[in-house]
Amino acid sequence: MTTGKIYTILFITGFLLIGFSVNAQQKDPAAMKILENFQKKIQSFPAIKSEYQFTIIDLKENSESTYKGEFSMKDEKYVMKMGNMEIYYDGTTLWNFLPEEGEVNISAPELSDEQDFLENPALFFKLYKKDLYNKLVEEKNVDGVIYNIIDLYPKDLNKGFSRIRLFIEKDELELYSIRYFGKDGIHYLLLLTDYETNILPDSWFQFDVSKHPNVEVIDLR
């Protein structure tokens, strides 16, 4: 599995937290109202920092792998940490830091409509507004909490996923989980265990090489 595929669902989640839009040609009015209210609430926050539990579900092998991590987002900037990997993106430059290997790869992602955002997660910042439809599936009671379940569908049926399912808490308009249904039989499930709103400086989203003098820098730009 590529790094991009592991992190794609995290970037999608970040967009749901920061704010997003969907294709107006196929929209469920009930789903749109929930999403718009959710967006208004979230857009009032300067930035978001969250802890999460991320599970990879392989339906073919009947196996699951679960990881814990954290991410921060502000506009198109993000920091993702999970296992032996830290990714920093300031909207232009991307740093992929591997602490155990003692190296950081620096790149400047080129966003192209021909690319699959699963392979280049930063591309999602460009494509999400025009590629997704939506539908309110149902309200569901989970351990005494009512959630609105909303599905997002790709406009392009050749994409590698069939849908993305959101659980949004009905009263507080808080995102609880997001599940990515891959056509290859691999699903990604992310549970937000905690998140807070903070004011984060732009430097938060940049990897400071000067603070890691023993790290090998591989500049791919």
CATH assignment of the domain containing 50:
2.50.20.10
* Domain, as residue range, for 159: 3-219
Each as own residue / partner, the long-range contacts of residues 198-203 (CB below 8 Å, 24 or more positions apart, any chain) are 198/46, 198/47, 198/48, 198/49, 198/72, 199/46, 199/47, 200/46, 200/47, 200/49, 200/72, 200/74, 202/74, 202/77, 202/90
The pLDDT > 70 percentage for the chain reads: 79
**Torsion (CA) 122, 177, 56, 79 in degrees, nearest 10:** 40
Assess whether pLDDT exceeds 80 at residue 101: yes
**Domain count across the chain:** 1
pLDDT tier, 95 (very low <50, low <70, confident <90, very high otherwise): very high
* Residue 195 dihedral angles phi and psi, to the nearest 5°: -150, 150
Q: Report how far residue 180's alpha carbon sits from residue 152's, in angstroms, rounded to the nearest whole number.
A: 10
**What pLDDT score was predicted for residue 118?**
46
Percent of residues in the chain assigned helix, strand, coil, to nearest 5: 20, 45, 35
Report the DSSP pairing between strands 103-107 and 216-219. Answer: parallel
* Cα 114-10-67 angle, rounded to 5 deg: 130
25 pLDDT tier (thresholds 50, 70, 90): low
Q: pTM for this one?
A: 0.75
Handedness of CA 78, 159, 137, 130 (dihedral sign): positive
Q: Which amino acid is at 76?
A: E
Q: What does the pLDDT read at residue 165?
A: 92
Q: Residue 49 in contact with residue 175, Cβ under 8 Å?
A: no
Burial class (CB in 10 A: 0-12, 13-18, 19+), 180: buried
Task: Determine what percent of the chain is predicted with pLDDT higher than 90.
Answer: 33
Report the Cα 15 to chain-centroid distance in Å: 6
pLDDT at 149 over 50: yes
- Check residue 154 and give its pLDDT: 82
